[in-house]
Amino acid sequence: MNISFTKQQEEYITTQVKSGEYQNNSEVIRDALRLHTIYRNKVINDLKAAIDKGFESGISKRSVQDIIDSKRNK
């Protein structure tokens, strides 16, 4: 597998290893992927919960335009 990083990303990875928190570059990347997976799953679960909440709330008597207008007036 070949992965390309920007200069800024390479510097970040190097800094993390130099801090002593990680033994090598691979550990930094594995941790980043682990955290990304946690974050992504949370976002997806939060969206699913919001969608479920919307479905469970029933049908609104307001039109789409009413909803848009109420947001613009805030």
Domain boundaries, the chain: 7-72
Count of Cβ atoms closer than 10 Å to residue 43 Cβ: 10
Q: What is the pLDDT of residues 2-47, one digit of tens each?
A: 999 999 999 999 999 999 999 999 999 999 999 999 999 999 999 9
- Residue 28's Cβ-count burial label (10 Å; 0-12, 13-18, 19+) is buried
pLDDT band at 73 (very low <50, low <70, confident <90, very high): confident
At 17 the three-state DSSP class reads: helix
Q: Is the per-residue pLDDT at 62 higher than 90?
A: yes
pTM listed for this prediction: 0.70
Q: What angle do CA 61, 64, 65 make, to 5 degrees?
A: 110
